[in-house]
Structure 1
Amino acid sequence: MKIAVAKEIEVGERRVALVPDVVARLVKQGVEVWVEAGAGDRAFFSDAAYEAAGAKIVSDPGYLWWEADVLLKVGVPQEREDGRSEVEMLREGAVLISFLNPLGEPAIAKRLAERRISAFSMEMIPRTTRAQSMDALSSQASIAGYKAVLIGAAALPKYFPMLTTAAGTIAPAKVFIIGAGVAGLQAIATARRLGAVVEAFDIRPAVKEEVQSLGAKFVEVQLEEETVAAGGYAKEVSEIAKQRTQQAIAEHVKLSDVVITTAQVPGRKAPILVTEEMVAQMKPGSVVVDLAAEQGGNCACTEPGKDVQRNGVTIIGTIDLPSSVPIHASQLYAKNLLSLVQLMINKEDKSLQLNFEDDIIEAACITHAGEIRNSRVKEALATLVGIGNG
C-alpha cells in the first residue's frame, strides 16, 4: 500500500500532512510512503529528513497523486495553476484524507463521489473518547486559541500583566473570550499565563467549571432552549437567543481591552455576537481578534484576512492561524492522521481495509463507491442545489 503526502498549494498554507517522525513509524510498520518534493519545506521539514525516515521523494505531483492508494493532505483539494483539478488527479478507488469542509463546501463531496474516491473528512471525526487521538479540529483549534492571544497582546497598546514599578502600578489587561470550546479554553489559559484578568462566555452552561478551573470568570446567560449539538459542539440557536446573548455580553465587551471570539457552527455562517454598536462603545486602543473570520466573523466589523479600525478599535480577522505555527501544527495533525490511518491498515498484510462497521470510519467517510455517505453532507448539498435553482 502506498501512502502519499501532497504538497499544499493553497496560498499561505504552511502545514504538511505527515512529518518525518510519523513517516518513520509507518515505514517501520511495512507501509510504503511517498512524499511530494518540497511538501515539508514551509513547515521546516526537509526532503532529506523524509528520505532519512524511509520515504520516497517524488517530484512529479501528477504521478504521486495518481499512484497513491491513500493521499494525505491538509487543505481542501484545489485547482492548480496549470488548470488541473486535484480531485481529477486522483485515480478512481483511491482514498483521500484531509480537511474537506464538506458542510461549508458540499460541492466538493459531489465531485469526489463522481470520481469514486473514498474521501474522509477530518472535520467529521466524532467527538468520542476513542477518537480523541484523531480529533484534528481540536488539535488545530488549540493552536488557534493560543496564537489569537499573542496577536491580541501584540496589537494592544498596553501590558497584559499587572506591574508594580517605581513609576507606579500598571493594572492588568481585561480579556473577554467568547466561546469556550477548545480554542476558547486555550485562549483563556494563554491570557491567564500572560497575566491578564479573564472573563469568558459560552452558550453551553456545562463548560462553566472548565472556564473557572483555568482561573477565568464565567459570564452566564439563561437561554430557554437546547444549546448543545451532537458531539458536544455549540448548536445554532434562535434569533431571540442570539439577541439575548448580545445583551448579556455587551457590557463585558465594552469594558474589555481584548475580545477574542471563537463561536462557530459547522457548515453555517458564524453568529454575530459583537455588533457595531458594541465596538463603538469599546475604549480606543482595544482589540478584537475574530477566530470565526473565515465563516463571516462573530464581529459585525470583521473583514476576513484583514486588520480594520473602527473608532480607535482594531478588529483582526484571522485566517488559518494554525498554519502560522507550522512545526507543531503539522506534528499534531500528522499524529491525528496516523491514528486514523492505522484503523484502515490490515495488520496481517498491510493492505487497505475500510471497515464501515467501525463508528469512526463510518462517521468520517463522506464519499465511497460513487456515493455521498454522510447524511449531513447530503442535506448541505441539497440546500446548495436548491439555492442555485432559486
Structure 2
Amino acid sequence: METGAPRTVLGVFRETVPGERRVALVPDVVPAVGRLGLTVLIEPGAGAQAWLHDEAYLAAGAELAGHAELLHRADVLLGVHPPALDRLHDLRPGQLLIALLRPTAIPRPVGQWADRGVTAIGLDLADARLPAARPMDATASQARIAGYRAVLLAAERLGRCLPPWGTADTAFEPVRTLVVGAGPEGLQAVDTARRLGSRVQVAELRRQERAQAVALGAELVALPGFDPVAGDPELGEALAHRRSALGAVLAAVVPHYDLVVTALDVPGGEPPMLLRTDEVAAMRPGSVLVDLTAGPAHVPAPADSWAQGNLECARPGATTLVGDGVIVIGAGELAAQVPVTASEAYAHNVLALLTHLTRRDGLRVDPTDPVQDAMVVTHHGAVRHAATRRLLADATTAAGPPPP
C-alpha cells in the first residue's frame, strides 16, 4: 500500500454463539495483517476462550476497542460467525463483513445486509476447485479439525480400545471403524482412527476421494453398481440414485462396525439422509456413531424436521441413545472444541483472503474476480448468492403482499 494512504480498520469481535470458543484472528497473524495496511481492533476478551489474552494482541500491535466502538470504527468486521441479529442496526453502508455466513441455512440476515449496503463475504463459500481460493477455504480447514475431533469424541464414548489389545494368552481384534464420505473431514477421521490403531473402511462415491482414503490406509466398502473406472457420478438424478443405493448398502453393513463417522455432504445443498433410526438401532449395544453433517446447534433445522444430516436420529450438538444402547452424537461445531488450532487455521484463511483483496489503494472487492465470485454474498445493495436469493424470494412470495 502506498505511503500516506489512509489505513483500513479491521475489527475483530467477540463470539456470542453458545459453545463457540474460536476467535477469528490470532496474535501471531496480526503483524501480517498490519503489513497489508490495516489497523487491527480487538474486542476485549475476544480470544480468551482459546487462551489468547488481550495482552498478546496488544504486544502484536492490535488495539482494544469495546463492541460499540469497534462497530463504529471498523471498515471491515471479522468474526467466525456474523454479528447477532439484534446488532444489525449497528452495521453501516460500505462496511465489509467477513465470517462463516452459511447463507442458505440462515438466509434472513442476508437480505438485511443487502438493504443496509453491507458487503458480506463468506469464508465458508470458497471454491476449492480454484487453486487460488484454497488457502482461504475455511470450510476445509475447520472440517479437518472436526474430523479429528469426531474420532476422539467417539473413542471417549466407546467401551473398547481402538487398537488391537490383549494379554499374554488372549488377543482382541481392533475396533472396526466406518467413515462415510471422504471429504476433508472424512479423510481426517480416517487418518486419526488409523493412527489410533483402528481398522478403517470408507464408503465413498467419488473416485478421487476413494483414492485418497486408500492412500491413508483405509479399505473401501464394496458399492455394487459403482464403476470407479468410469469416473465420478454426475450431478442430478444419477447422483441422487447413487446416494439412495449407498444408503441401502450402509443399512446392510453398518451392524458390523463399532464406530461410524458420517460425513457425506453436498456442496450448496442439504446432506442426504443415509440411515434411518431403525437401521442404526440394529447395531451392537455400545456402538458409537458421529454425524458430522448434523449441523451446528445454532443453525435452524428445516421446518418439517429437526433432522439435518446423514443420520435420521442425530440432533445437532446432542447425544442420543437409540435402540439397545447405540450412542449417536450430532456433531455440532466440533472445531470449536479445538479452539487453538481451529482459530490459527481460520486466521490464516482470513489472511489469505485479505491478501487477495489488497490493492495499492486498499482493499478492493471485485465480484467479477473468479475467486471472489463464489464468496461475495451481498454487494452494492444486492444479494449476489443465487441460492440465497431464491430462498429470500420464496419467503417473500409465501408471506404474501404487505397489508394495506
| TM surpasses 0.5 | yes
SS at match of 2:284: coil
Contact kept, 8 Å, 2:317 with 2:330, in 1: the verdict is yes
RMSD across aligned positions (CA): 2.1
Name structure 1 gaps, 5 residues minimum.
80-84, 230-234
The Cα shift of 1:29 comes to 3.8
Within 2, Cα distance between the matches of 1:342 and 1:146? 29
Correspondence 1:376 to 2:387: yes
Corresponding residue of 1:312: 325
Residue 374 of structure 1: how far off its partner (Å):
2.3
Give the corresponding residue for 1:71.
Answer: 77
CA distance in 1, matches of 2:196, 2:238: 33
Give the 3 Å change call, closer, same or farther, for CA 389–299 of structure 1 in structure 2. farther
Change (3 A) 1:228 1:106: farther
1:9 aligns with 2:20: no
The alpha-carbon distance between structure 1 residues 102 and 264, as it changes in their structure 2 partners (threshold 3 A), is same
Report how many residues are paired.
377
* C-alpha contact (below 8 Å) 1:104/1:266 kept by paired residues: no
Determine the structure 1 residue equivalent to 2:215: 213
Question: What are the superposed Cα offsets for residues 350-383 of structure 1, whole Å, 9 maximum, x if unpaired?
Answer: x222233321122211111101122232223233
Cα distance in 1, alignment partners of residues 155 and 315 from structure 2: 20
Question: Which residue of 2 is the match for residue 287 of structure 1?
Answer: 288
Deviations 1:247-301 (A, max 9, x none): 1122321100001111222454332112223212211110111111126121121
Q: What is the DSSP-based 3-state SS (H/G/I as helix, E as strand, rest coil) of the residue aligned with 2:179?
A: strand
Of residues 340, 355, 373, the one that matches 1:327 is 340
8 Å CA contact 1:8, 1:39 repeated in 2 = yes
Pair 62,228 (structure 1): closer, same or farther in 2 beyond 3 Å: farther
For residues 327 and 153 of structure 1, the distance between their equivalents in structure 2, rounded to whole angstroms, comes to 21
Q: In the TM superposition, what are the counterparts of 1:247-262 in structure 2 within 5 Å?
A: 247-262=248-263
Q: Which residue of 2 aligns with 1:232?
A: none
Note the residue ranges of structure 2 that are not aligned, 5 or more in a row.
1-7, 296-300, 302-307
CA distance in 2, matches of 1:30, 1:105: 32
Q: Is the 8 A contact 1:204 1:228 kept in 2?
A: no
- Whether the 8 Å CA contact 2:82–2:97 is kept in 1: the answer is no
The correspondence for 2:139, drawn from 137, 140, 143, is: 137
CA distance in structure 1 between the partners assigned to 2:237 and 2:160 by the alignment:
35
* Aligned ranges 1:341-360 → 2 under 5 Å: 341-346=354-359, 348-349=360-361, 351-360=362-371
Distance 1:102 1:138 in 2: 17
Structure 1 stretch displaced more, 248-257 or 109-118: 248-257
**Distance apart, 1:109 and its partner CA:** 1.4
- Aligned to 1:362, which of 368, 373, 376? 373
SS at match of 2:124: helix
Q: 1:345: how far off?
A: 1.9
Name the amino acid aligned to 1:132: R
Offset of residue 114 of structure 1: 0.3
2:263/2:293 contact within 8 Å kept: yes
Deviation at 1:126, TM superposition (A): 1.1
What aligned pairs does 1:170-209 form with structure 2 within 5 A after superposition? 170-209=172-211
1:33 — aligned with what? Answer: 40
Percent identity, aligned pairs only, is 36
Q: What's the TM-score once normalised by structure 1's chain length?
A: 0.91
Contact 2:205 2:232 in 1 (8 A): no
Deviation at 1:389, TM superposition (A): 5.1
Q: 1:82: which partner in 2?
A: none
Change (3 A) 1:386 1:252: farther
Contact kept in structure 1, 2:319 and 2:328, CA below 8 Å: yes
2:162 to 152, 160, 163: 160
Q: Which string of whole-angstrom CA distances, capped at 9 and with x for unpartnered residues, describes residues 11-67 of structure 1?
A: 111111100011121223432111111111111111000000000101x21120121
Q: 1:386 to 1:266 in 2, by over 3 A?
A: farther
Output the TM-score relative to the length of structure 2.
Answer: 0.88
Cα pair distance change 1:73/1:261, threshold 3 Å = same
How far the C-alpha of 1:237 sits from its partner, in A, is: 6.5
State the SS of the aligned residue for 2:106.
Answer: coil
SS in 2 for 1:316: strand
Letter in 2 for 1:161: P
